[in-house]
Amino acid sequence: MASAPEDPVLERYFKGHKAAITSVDFSPNGKQLATASWDTFLMLWNFRPQTRAFRYVGHKDVVTSVQFSPLGNLLASASRDRTVRLWTPDKRGKSSEFRAHTAPVRSVDFSADGQFLATASEDKSIKIWNMYRQRFLYSLYRHTHWVRCAKFSPDGRLIVSCSEDKTIKIWDTTSKQCVSNFTDSVGFANFVDFNPNGTCIASAGSDHTVKIWDIRVNKLLQHYQVHSCGVNCVSFHPSGNYLITASSDATLKILDLLEGRLIYTLQGHTGPVFTVSFSKGGELFSSGGADAQVLLWRTNFDELNCKDVIKRNLKRLHLDSPPHLLDIHPRIPHSHEEKIETVEINPKLEVMDLQTSTPPVVDVLSFDSTTTVSILEQRLTLTEDKLKDCLENQQKLCNAIQQKS
C-alpha cells in the first residue's frame, strides 16, 4: 500500500555505532541528533550533508541515556559505569563527570528551565543535581528495585519515575516526597514520561502495553495493547495529540490520543527498537535499536488539522467510542487489540532512494574536570619537587665552596 501524503516517511539513516542504540535526542534547534549506544560512545550527528559526525569517548561501559539541555549548550549522558557526564556538544567535547550513584545509571533528564538534572539508577534511587553549580543536591528513595527512568514535569514541580518493583511514582520536588503511586500487577514500566501539558503520564510496559494515566484523578485513562513484545520507549508529539512507541517486536507504533486509536505501524529496524523521540517541533522523529541503526523519520502531523487526519484515515480506524484524553473524569479504559486496521509502512520496500548517511567520524577524547585537576596537581607537585632538589643542590655547592675557602 502506498503511503498517503500525510503518512510518516523514512528520510535517512545514520551508520557509525558498532552496537545497539539505547537513546536518541534532538537538539533544541533541530539541527543535530545525539545518540547513545552499547558501544560505550555518544555520537553527535549533523543533518547538513557532508558534515562530520562526532564520537565522544569517555564512558567505560554501555551508555544508557542521552539528552540535550533546553538551551542546547550541554549534553547529559548516563552509563552502566555508574557515572553521569555533562558534555559540551562541539568538536572539543569537554566533559564533567558526576559520581554519586553506586550502580549503573539508567536515565538522565533536564528540567525545562535547565537548572536541574534528574538521574535514575539501579541503586534504587533518583538523584537531583544542580546544573549551575554542577553539584549533587538530594536523593529520592522509595523504590524497592532498579529505577529505570525518571522525568521532570513540564513545570518542574513533579518528577515521575518507574521501577522494576512494578510501581510508577510521582514526586513533589518541593517537599521531596512521593505524592502518588501507580501499581501494576503484571509487568513493570521500562519508560515513563509526562505529556506536554503535564496532566497525564504515559508508560511503556514490559507486558507489551502502553498506558496513559491522568495524574489529576490518579486513574488509568487509556490502555493500548498494540505490540507483541515489551515496549521500551514512548515519545509525545509536542501537540500532545500523538504518542509514538518503540518495542522489542521491531516496530514503532503511532497512536492518536484524542481518538484513542492506533493509526500507524512503522517497520524499518531489524530487531528490537529501544528508543524513539520526536524533535522539539514535532516535524521529525528518530528511532534506534539492536541493529545499531539510527533512523530519521519525517511527519507532517502539524500541517494537517487533526480532524482531517482522522477523516482521511476513517476507513482504517476502529469506530468504538474511546475515552477522551482531555476528560477530567475518564471513562472505562479502552483496550486496543491488534484487530484494528492500520497503515503499515515498511520503508525498505517502499523507499528505493533512501538517503544513507555514513559521514566521516571524528573521535573526541575528553578528560573530566576532576581528572584534569588531578593531572595539574601532579604536575605542580613534580615542579615543586624539582625546585626543592635544585635548591638543595645549590646549598650543597655553596657549603662546599665555603669549606674550600
Task: Please provide residue 184's backbone torsions phi and psi, each rounded to the nearest 5 degrees.
Answer: -120, 125
Give the burial string for 213-249 (b: 16+ CB within 10 Å, else e): bbbeeeebbbbbbbbeebbbbbbbbbebbbbbbbbbb
Task: State how beta strands 210-214 and 42-46 pair.
Answer: unpaired
> Which residues in the chain show pLDDT less than 70?
1-6, 185, 302-342, 347-357, 366-398, 400-405
Are 135 and 129 a contacting pair, CB within 8 Å? yes
Which pTM does this prediction carry? Answer: 0.81
pLDDT at position 56: 96
- The pLDDT tens digits for 346-400 are 766 543 344 556 777 888 886 554 433 333 333 444 445 555 566 666 666 667 6
Residues in the chain: 405
pLDDT at position 121: 98
Angle at alpha carbon of residue 88, lines to 82 and 91, rounded to 5°:
115
**Residue 121: count of CB within 10 angstroms of its CB:** 26
**Residue 73: count of CB within 10 angstroms of its CB:** 13
